[in-house]
């Protein structure tokens, strides 16, 4: 279609926000519809009444190589709200042996760091890293645990924690190919690319609130608590959007970006194939403020916790691919995870601070080879309807970077541009 004069973006998660930004900057009129009373979707902060402070719905780590996310934070003027150690340094603790090490890839692309014992995984020699070539060469059906030798130290202490965190899928089922892509865009791109970035305050303060402010300043109409119930199709076009109590006619020079999550989109778009298997993420938050010289985060091997993040007012734990934990009562889980947190940050185990457990049962789609085949592209068979979301075929797992890239791609398609994400 020719460039639309107005676009309705449905869903104000990062995919929808990114699409709206690009369209509004190109001078297109944008209406942003969001079902929830707030924007941000699966990436946002809120006041937790139990802890009496703001927390993020989950720990989200960005790295400098996330080019779409970096472009997005620049567009919304929020780069200065990202902080971190400033170098690629990833501290780990093995709960079984008590050993600690800091993974420190050198800045450039030639990985001489693997020959420096002080920079690599404890107990894994330099040549262990070459096993990464097996995931890069893996076939479409291969899973991480099949492509890599799970009995090795490098698997247990590096490949497995990275794969589970990035793909939110257990290594027995996670696509080796997709993990290969993650490695290409992170460790394979050199230490400069791996510099970790975390929000100074919270996810909303970095990724959502500045985006909304920017959108409002460019004239975008933002309609919160506005849930799309159905889409009216006529021939090759979307002709109406049906919200509770109202129907919005879609004129000949209008288009729609559908940026809702994977479980919602097939209910709105006939015959749409989308991922239909999901994995949980469990987060635990402990109300304790540590000094600024404590590590930004610690990777935990062989515990229940996997990554522990230091935030201004809490220590926050992430457990990915956590379906095994979702039925465990929070009262059981809190001390279990706290033991790992206390060990990771060398804190006394008693008393356990005030805590909160947040279980996201369908945090992301399962990154299995079969589910990847269900990811649709941006275009649909309707001329004025495009898709966005972390579950579309971004080539990445369900991540901030994937979601933002999908939003950029959807907007570019409507603008008739080559992909710029």
Which residues sit at the interface with ligand FAD, rule CB under 6 A?
10-16, 33-36, 41-43, 57-61, 227-228, 259-261, 264, 281, 283, 360, 363-364, 389-390, 398-401, 403
- Segments of 200-267 assigned E as strands: 221-223, 228-234, 237-243, 246-249, 254-258
From the CB of 348, what's the least distance to ligand FAD, in Å? 28
Q: Least Å distance between CB 118 and ligand FAD? A: 27
Give the nearest distance from C-beta 12 to ligand FAD in angstroms.
5
Q: Residue 278 CB, nearest distance to ligand FAD (Å)?
A: 10
Give the span between the Cα atoms of 20 and 72, in whole angstroms: 11
In what order do the strands lie in the sheet containing 254-258? 221-223, 29-33, 6-10, 254-258, 385-387
Query: Cα torsion at 294, 299, 300, 306 (round to 10°)?
Result: 120
Q: How far from the centroid of its chain's Cα atoms is residue 396's Cα? A: 10
**Beta carbon nearer to ligand FAD, 20 or 400:** 400
Closer residue to ligand FAD, CB minimum distance, 261 or 275: 261
C-beta separation of 27 from 4 below 8 A = no
Residue 237 near residue 384, CB atoms below 8 Å: yes
Which residue, 10 or 31, is less far from ligand FAD as judged by CB? 10
Placement of tokens 């006041």 in the chain? 47
Torsion of Cα atoms, 362 then 363 then 366 then 371, to 10°: 80
Angle, helices 14-25/400-415, rounded to nearest 10 degrees: 30
Partnered with residue 13 across adjacent β-strands are: none
Q: Which tokens hold the place of 160?
A: 């497995």
As a dihedral over the C-alpha atoms of residue 344, residue 345, residue 346, residue 348, rounded to 10 degrees, the angle is -100
CB of 127 to ligand FAD, least distance (A): 30
Q: What is the DSSP string of 32-88?
A: EE-SSSSS-TTS-EEEETTTTEEEESS---EETT-HHHHHHHHHTT-GGGEES-SS-
Q: Which residues contact 173 (CB under 8 A, 6 or more apart)?
A: 143, 366, 368
Specify the residue, 101 or 391, whose C-beta has the smaller distance to ligand FAD: 391
CA distance 354 to 285: 8
Taking the complex as a whole, the smallest distance from the CB of residue 388 to ligand FAD amounts, in Å, to 7
Shortest separation between residue 207's beta carbon and ligand FAD, angstroms = 9
| Whole-angstrom distance, CA of residue 421 vs CA of residue 10 | 20
Helix, strand, coil share (%) of the chain residues, nearest 5: 30, 25, 45
- Please state the closest distance from residue 405 (CB atom) to ligand FAD, in A: 10
**Least Å distance between CB 97 and ligand FAD?**
26
**Residue 231 C-beta: closest distance to ligand FAD, Å:** 10
User: Tokens standing for 391?
Assistant: 């579950």
Picking from 92, 66, 108, 60, the residue whose alpha carbon sits closest to that of residue 159 is 92
CB closer to ligand FAD, 342 vs 367? 367
């Amino acid at each position: 279609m020719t460039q639309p004069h107005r676009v309705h973006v449905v869903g104000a998660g990062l995919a929808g926000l990114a699409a709206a930004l690009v369209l509004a900057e190109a001078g297109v009129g944008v209406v942003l519809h969001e079902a929830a009373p707030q924007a941000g979707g699966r990436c946002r902060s809120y006041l937790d009444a139990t802890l009496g402070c703001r927390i993020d719905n989950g720990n989200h780590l960005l790295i400098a190589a996330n080019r779409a996310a970096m472009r997005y934070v620049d567009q919304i003027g929020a780069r200065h709200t990202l902080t971190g150690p400033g170098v690629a340094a990833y501290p780990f603790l093995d709960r079984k042996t008590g050993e600690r090490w800091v993974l420190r890839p050198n800045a450039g692309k030639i990985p001489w760091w693997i020959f420096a014992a002080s920079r690599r995984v404890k107990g894994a020699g330099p040549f262990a890293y070459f096993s990464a070539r097996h995931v890069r060469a893996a076939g479409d059906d291969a899973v991480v645990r099949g492509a890599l030798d799970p009995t090795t130290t490098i698997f247990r202490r590096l490949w497995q924690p990275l794969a589970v965190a990035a793909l939110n899928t257990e290594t027995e089922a996670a696509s080796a190919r997709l993990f290969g892509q993650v490695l290409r865009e992170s460790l394979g791109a050199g230490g400069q690319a791996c510099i970790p970035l975390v929000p100074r305050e919270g996810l909303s303060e970095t990724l959502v609130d500045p985006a909304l402010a920017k959108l409002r300043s460019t004239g975008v109409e933002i309609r919160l608590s506005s849930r799309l119930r159905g889409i009216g199709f006529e021939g090759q076009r979307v002709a109406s959007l049906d919200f509770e109590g109202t129907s919005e006619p879609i004129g000949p020079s209008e288009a729609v970006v559908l940026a809702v999550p994977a479980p919602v989109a097939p209910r709105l778009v006939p015959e749409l194939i989308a991922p239909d298997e999901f994995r949980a993420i469990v987060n635990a938050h402990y109300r304790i403020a540590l000094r600024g010289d404590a590590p930004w985060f610690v990777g935990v091997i062989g515990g229940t916790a996997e990554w522990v993040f230091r935030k201004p007012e809490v220590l926050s734990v992430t457990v990915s691919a956590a379906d095994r934990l979702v039925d465990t009562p929070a009262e059981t889980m809190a001390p279990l995870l706290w033991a790992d947190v206390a060990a990771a940050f060398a804190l006394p185990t008693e008393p356990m601070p005030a805590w909160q457990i947040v279980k996201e049962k369908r945090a992301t789609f399962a990154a299995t080879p079969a589910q990847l085949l269900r990811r649709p592209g941006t275009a649909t068979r309707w001329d004025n309807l495009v898709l966005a979301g972390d579950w579309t075929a971004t080539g990445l797992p369900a991540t901030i970077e994937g979601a933002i890239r999908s939003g950029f791609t959807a907007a570019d398609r409507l603008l008739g541009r080559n992909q710029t994400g």
